[in-house]
Structures are given as structure tokens and as C-alpha cells.
Amino acid sequence: MKSSKVNYKPKDAEKRKAIKPVICYPIESLKPPPMQDYFNARKSLKKIDQIIIPPRDAKCFKVPKGHFFRIYCENGPQVGDLNLWCHNNLDEKFYSGKTRALYGTHLSTKDRLWSCFPYLRPMATITHDTLGWYGYDSDGGSVHDVIGTRCDPYTEKTLSNKEYHFCCHSNLIRALSNYKNISYEKAEKYVHDVLNVFMCTGFTKDTHQYFMKASPVRVGDYIEFFSEIDLIAGLSACPGGDCSTSHSSDDAICHPLRVEIYKCPRDNLNNWKEPKISEYSGKHNR
């Protein structure tokens, strides 16, 4: 937070502050996703699997490339924390910071979830979002953010001196450890900043701090993704429930989340190709 008590202000301060912003990463030069292919494909989806994520827990599941997956609000308003990894390479993981820099603080239909360096390619594309109507509210809040990181036991210990073992960070560690049969220590290195599915968040107008408010999600709402590469997805049903009051504790009412995985006829995806990893040479002026 920036203090308003500054003891020096240059004479041309207002002039300097009045300079107009420019977009850091204009996305007009990005190759657009073949949305019409996705929209055609999703008309003939065949459900092939379903996973229930229990409250205050997480699970990992595979989504083959060219498939779709949906995250459903199952029993009541509930927030989910999503991690993505390349199925055969855990080092290639979702990069929420760069995704935010490209599309903004909150994601919806047509936005893509990019992987980290040195790969930097779309891992998944959002193809439907029943909360797309929400837009931005009068507090500046919206849903499905890439600004929060994930609830975690370290911050909880630092702020409240309490031990809590069912934060999304810990839930995702257990889920990845089980899925890949690796130790908790190894799994923890691969857990990363999330897409906050269904969570309603923003920055306060006065102090610009990260805030949350009750998720507008209702039973039957869902967000749908197209899998651009073979994925492992990890999803935690956050201990914050609808995140209207608290998280990182057993205080909130929590519900399960339902994941559905769908196959589609490949001939509906004529213009789609698996994205290549970044073509940057990697020389870094060597």
C-alpha cells in the first residue's frame, strides 16, 4: 500500500501523473483461437468421465488434448482453485501472471490459459462460462480471477499463527502427490498460482487491496475449457466455500465441485492444431 504521507512532491507531479497509460501487451497480434471450431465441436460432446471434488480437498485428473472439461457448481456456491500441468512434463505449468498480463484480472470465454517459460503456449481455452453475464460490478469485482494466488498454510500461520492443513495449496499438494505417486515435498514444488474458478474478487478502490465477496455462482453454473495439450488438471474445493467471509479455516460452509470430461468428433476441429511451445531461441544473448 502506498502511503499518502509523502514528504516530497515535485512541482510537475500532476503533469507526470496525467500521462495516459498504454496497454503493456496488446493481444491483437496473437493468433486468435479457432472459436467457431470449438463452438461447433461443443454441439456434439460425449461425456466420458466425471469426478467429484470433495469439500476442502482436491483431485487431479487427465484431460487429453482435443477434449473439453467443465467445472460445475454441484450443491451450492463454492469456489475452486485450478492448477494445470502438461501431462508428461510437470515443469510446464499454468502461468497465471502472464495470463493476467495478456487478458486482464478475470477470465471468461475466448481467454486462454498460458504455460510458464520457456514453453509459453496456450494450455486450455475457455469455451463457455455461465457467469459471463456478471462482467464487473460496482465494487470493481468480477469472477474467475488470476490475481489471487491460492489460500495457503504459510500465510495463515504468518497472519493468525494458526495451523491449518486444508488450504487449496495443501489440497493440491496431496492431490498431485497421489496422482503422480511422488512425495509431498516434490509435489509442492509444482503447485502454482491458480485460476480462481467462480471466485468473485477485485481490488478495493481506496487501498487497492485484494478483496473477495460472495460468489454469484449457483447450482448448475459451469465454466468449460478446451484442452489444447494433454493436461493434468488439479482442482481444489476451497475451504472458503463461496468466499463471502473467510478462508483457510473450517468456518465456511463448503460444497463439492463436479468435473465432467467430454470427447468430441475430431472432424469438428478442422482448424485446430496443438499449440507449439515458444519459438524463442533461448540464447538470451549468449
* Interacting residue ranges for Zn ion, rule: CB under 5 A: 81, 151, 168, 238
**Residue 279: CB minimum distance to Zn ion, A:** 36
Residue closer to Zn ion by CB (options 126, 235) is: 235
**CB 172 → Zn ion: shortest distance, Å?**
9
Spatial strand order in the sheet of 68-73: 46-53, 257-263, 68-73, 222-227, 122-129, 112-114
The nearer residue to Zn ion, 148 or 275, going by C-beta atoms, is 148
Q: Which is nearer to Zn ion, 102 or 212 (CB)?
A: 212
Strands 210-213 and 58-63: unpaired
CA separation for the pair 147, 23 (Å, rounded): 18
Least Cβ distance, residue 181 to Zn ion (angstroms): 25
Q: Which is nearer to Zn ion, 245 or 278 (CB)?
A: 245
Minimum distance from CB of 27 to Zn ion (Å)?
Answer: 29
Of 67 and 150, which CB lies nearer to Zn ion in the complex structure?
150
Cβ at position 62, least distance to Zn ion in Å = 23
Q: Return the number of the residue (86 or 223) whose C-beta is nearest Zn ion.
A: 223
Report the nearest approach of Zn ion to the CB of residue 89 (Å): 26
Q: How far is the CB of 194 from Zn ion (least distance, A)?
A: 8
For 78, 111, 210, 215, the CA distances from 206, given in Å and listed in that order, are 28, 29, 11, 22
Distances in whole angstroms, Cα of residue 178 to Cα of each of 56, 229, 278: 16, 22, 30
Length of the chain measured in residues: 286
Total Cβ atoms within 10 A of residue 238: 32
Which residues contact residue 272 at a Cβ distance below 8 angstroms, ignoring those fewer than 6 apart?
A: 34, 37, 38, 66
For helices 153-160 and 168-180, angle between their N-to-C axes, nearest 10 degrees: 150
Q: Which is closer to Zn ion, CB of 53 or CB of 168? A: 168
